[in-house]
C-alpha cells in the first residue's frame, strides 16, 4: 500500500499567534480558526506549496514540550521536529527571528546527506523546525554592483 503525507498536526498554546507565525514565515494560508464540537478547542488548517499542510490545534490545558537542543528533542521518543525544504536559508532565518522564533543551530552542511544545508529553529512556542536547502534550490542574495 502506497502512502503520502496528508498533514502534520501540532498542538499549540496560542492558535492565533502560531498561525500568524507559520503564515508569515512560510507563506502559508489558513482556513481557520474553527471551534471544535467540545466548544472549547480550536483548530486551523494551514496550507502552502503543494503537499504542505499543517493542522494547528489549541486545547485548553495543553502543556508545552520544551527541548533545550536538537539532541534533547531526540532523547524524547516520538516526533520531535518538522523539516521543511526552503530555497533561501539565510532569508528564512532572518524572517523567523523577526517573527519571534529562535535559532537553535547555525546553518551547516548535513553529514549524512551530501548537498543538503540545514539549520534548526523554533517557532515562538519552542517547537523544533529543521530548515533544509539543496544545491539545486539554494539561492543567494544578489551582489550589489560596485560603485566608484
Please state which of the ranges 38-52, 74-88, 108-122 shows the lowest mean pLDDT.
74-88
Instruction: Dig out the grid coordinates for 67 from the structure.
Output: 527541548
Q: What is the pLDDT of residues 92-101, one digit of tens each?
A: 999 999 999 9
Model pTM score: 0.84
Q: Which of helix, strand or coil describes residue 86?
A: coil
Residue 141: band (very low, low, confident or very high) from pLDDT cuts 50, 70, 90: very low
Tell me whether residue 34 is exposed, middle or buried, using C-beta atoms within 10 angstroms of its C-beta: 0 to 12, 13 to 18, 19 or more. Answer: exposed
Residue 83: band (very low, low, confident or very high) from pLDDT cuts 50, 70, 90: very high
Is pLDDT above 70 for 138? Answer: no
Residue 56: band (very low, low, confident or very high) from pLDDT cuts 50, 70, 90: very high
Share of the chain above pLDDT 70, in %: 91
Residue 135: band (very low, low, confident or very high) from pLDDT cuts 50, 70, 90: low
Q: What is the pLDDT of residues 102-121, one digit of tens each?
A: 999 999 999 998 999 999 99
CA 126/CA 136 separation, integer angstroms = 30
* pLDDT for res 137: 54
Is pLDDT above 90 for 72? Answer: no
Amino acid at each position: 500500500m502506497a502512502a503520502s503525507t496528508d498533514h502534520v498536526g501540532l498542538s499549540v498554546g496560542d492558535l492565533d499567534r502560531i498561525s500568524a507565525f507559520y503564515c508569515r514565515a512560510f507563506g502559508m494560508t489558513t482556513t481557520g480558526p474553527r471551534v471544535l464540537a467540545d466548544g472549547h478547542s480550536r483548530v486551523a488548517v494551514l496550507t502552502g506549496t503543494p503537499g504542505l499542510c499543517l493542522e494547528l490545534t489549541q486545547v485548553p490545558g495543553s502543556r508545552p514540550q520544551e527541548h533545550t537542543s536538537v539532541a534533547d528533542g531526540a532523547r524524547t521518543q516520538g516526533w520531535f521536529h518538522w523539516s521543511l525544504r526552503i530555497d533561501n536559508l539565510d532569508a528564512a532565518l532572518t524572517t523567523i527571528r523577526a517573527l519571534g522564533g529562535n535559532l537553535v543551530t547555525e546553518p551547516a552542511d548535513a553529514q549524512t546527506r551530501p548537498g543538503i544545508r540545514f539549520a534548526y529553529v523554533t517557532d515562538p512556542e519552542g517547537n523544533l523546525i529543521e530548515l533544509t536547502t539543496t544545491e539545486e534550490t539554494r539561492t543567494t542574495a544578489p551582489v550589489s554592483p560596485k560603485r566608484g
